[in-house]
Amino acid sequence: MFPLTSESTEPYIGMEFDSAEDAREFYEMYGRRVGFTIRNNRTRRSLKDNSIIGREYVCSKEGFRAGKCTNRGSRVLLPRPATREGCNAMLRIAAKDGGKWVIYGFVKEHNHELNPSKIPPRRSHRIAFSEDVKDLKIRELSTELHHEKKKSAAYQEQLCMVLKFIEEHTQRMSLKVQVVTNNMQELESEERESSYPD
């Protein structure tokens, strides 16, 4: 769980969480208390195994919505109210060794009014973290595949050794059979020669 002490009512650099979900939950609750909502912005992945190693959460008013054409033929659509105002407030977290997540970036200031009473009801954010579950499953399957490949390589090596042994054994047996055949032919030849009177 995320820290809930009186000192942790506001995010700070170095604050630790047990998971990225705990950090998001903390920032979301902080935002609701102060008067803004958040959304996922960026995800950083490891170059080594493609796992998620960093996340950035921003104020819902971060950035600007792209202006789209409101005239469509004879129909004129009313422009939607602006929901993004270029707010820079954000929280960045990164995975640490040992499974912990730590805040390494935090911008507190907003460029718009903050009003807790205008925050809409909370919705589930489990969907946002289904990606983490998928990543975990992919890592587990990749590890399992790696182990299976190693086992397969070991079996293949053992099979090659057995086939080589069989081949060498077959060659030795062939030589023995050839020696026995030659000896038999020599004996038969000697018997034939001895059966004829001089």
How many folded domains does the chain comprise?
2
Residue 154 structural domain: 128-198
| 27 within 8 A of 41, measured Cβ to Cβ | no
Domain co-membership, 110 together with 133:
no
Domain's final residue, options 100, 123, 146:
123
> pTM of the full predicted structure?
0.52
The stretch 107-128 carries a mean pLDDT of 74
C-alpha–C-alpha distance, residues 103 and 73, integer Å: 49
Q: Is residue 22 part of a domain?
A: yes
Per-residue pLDDT tens for 57-109? 999 888 776 655 444 555 555 555 556 678 989 999 999 887 899 999 999 99
| 46 within 8 A of 53, measured Cβ to Cβ | yes
Query: Which tokens belong to 137?
Result: 């499953």
Q: Is residue 56 part of a domain?
A: yes
Q: Is residue 101 part of a domain?
A: yes
Q: Is residue 1 part of a domain?
A: no
Query: Residue 61: what pLDDT?
Result: 84
Domain co-membership, 21 together with 103:
yes
